[in-house]
Structure 1
């Protein structure tokens, strides 16, 4: 995490509060992510990247091209390839050449993968409810809307 010491931030611009917000967001993400990693490992012998791949494929039941999966997860093709290979070996994902293009592969969940992810997703939702339990539903909706608006505005600039 990289940040500027707060005493160096110009108080008149409101940027000190934005910097505090950024630091708090980072801390929350790191704490929650570390706890999720631990629980996934302990209860499902899985990793967060595997969970993310399974989640993306669960949303797209017809499967995804490997390149689309990489783009969706915001990671390199190499990272996704290694995870998918292990998921295929575990029987949770199947991979097939795309019709008409032997170089492109479509990946999708197997029945076992769908069932396994459904169990993981239910536990994950419960863990998040526990970890963020002090945030009211109303506050969660407001903060989520604010972050969505920020993301939409920010993505439009890049």
Structure 2
């Protein structure tokens, strides 16, 4: 028989988790729709372009998968389409034939910078009802959650 005293915040934490999940899903859905309708692209394509933008000299396919938290197969499928569209290029490693580097092309860089500006504008609109103080509080709470600290 379990004689532990129930945590009085347990139900509130569960409700908070459900609310956080709902907000996250709604925001992601909104961004997916925005990218599809306004820019004819997908969130996975945007994510790959963003990762490569941060790694201007390119990165390996394995590292790209790790950065995106997706399987090598998923990353490869997106990179294949981006390469066909002239937005990324693959370069085999001179040291190891099994290793392939992927990087943005000049057109990929140009398109991503345009998309990133629009993406930022859309996210800004999603958060427009939050004040500077709200954003700071939310950032601090999320940092604590990310570190696994007790609330």
TM-score by length of 2: 0.90
Structure 1 counterpart of 2:97: 102
Q: 2: distance between equivalents of 1:97 and 1:76?
A: 20
How many residues matched? Answer: 145
Structure 2 counterpart of 1:111: 106
Task: Kindly report the root-mean-square deviation, in angstroms, between the aligned alpha carbons of the 2 structures.
Answer: 1.5
Among 81, 84, 89, which residue is 1:89 paired with? Answer: 84
Structure 1 counterpart of 2:31: 36
Q: 1: distance between equivalents of 2:132 and 2:120?
A: 14
Task: Give the ranges of 4+ consecutive aligned residues of structure 1 lying more than 3 Å apart after TM superposition.
Answer: none
1:141: how far off?
2.1
The within-5 A match list for 1:62-77 is: 62-77=57-72
3-state SS in 2 of match to 1:43? helix
Among 134, 138, 143, which residue is 2:133 paired with? Answer: 138
1:17: how far off?
1.3
3-state SS in 1 of match to 2:99? strand
3-state SS in 1 of match to 2:97? strand
* 1:42-94 deviations in Å (ceiling 9; x for gaps): 11110000000000000110111110110111100000000000000000001
TM-score by length of 1: 0.86
3-state SS in 2 of match to 1:101? coil
Structure 1 counterpart of 2:13: 18
1:11: how far off?
6.9
Which structure's residues are more often helix, by fraction? 1
* 1:90-117 deviations in Å (ceiling 9; x for gaps): 0000111112111111111011001100
* 1:22-44 deviations in Å (ceiling 9; x for gaps): 11111111111111111101111
